[in-house]
Amino acid sequence: MGSLQTGTNHQVMPYRDEHLSLDFSQQAAALDAERMTLTRKEYDLLALLVQHAGEIIPREALLMQVWGYGAEIRTRTLDVHVRRLRKKLGGYADQYIETIFGIGYRFQPFHAPRFFQPQVQKSPFAIGA
């Protein structure tokens, strides 16, 4: 896993998918085009997860980056903030924030379910065609 910097020293492109958008330069988030009301720590947590989408981020790394806590700190602060963030993400919460039990969390970009699988056409050059 790479360095968990939040991109404050360099330009970071906004994140946007079908439902969620984050503008890192404005430190703003929107869900279904409605601005989300997030605390500073909720935004920092969401931004860090989004910037490392697909990566499992250990609890200790999140506590250090967002709150400045050392590894020796035992706290439920992270769990409380994730719970609040999930509540604000509503029906999309399970899609976006995945708990990796005993390790940490992972942000998964939104992927609409596919109801119809595209048909695979046989190549005319396939063996036995």
The token pair that represents 29 in the structure block: 């988030």
Q: Which pLDDT tens digit goes with each residue over 70-104?
A: 767 778 899 999 999 999 999 999 999 999 999 99
Determine contact, residues 63/77, Cβ cutoff 8 Å.
yes
Q: Quote the CA–CA distance of 22 and 31 in Å, as a whole number.
A: 9
Identify the three-state secondary structure at position 25: coil
Q: Which pLDDT tens digit goes with each residue over 26-36?
A: 999 999 999 99
More confident residue, 32 or 3: 32
pLDDT value, residue 83 = 97
CA angle 108, 3, 84 (to 5 degrees): 45
Whether domain 15-107 has CATH 1.10.10.10: the reply is yes
pLDDT value, residue 129 = 46
Token match 């709150």: residue? Answer: 67
Q: What is the pTM of this model?
A: 0.77
| Exposure class string for 67-82: b at 16+ Cβ within 10 A, else e | bebeeeeeeeebeebb
Q: Quote the CA–CA distance of 27 and 24 in Å, as a whole number.
A: 5
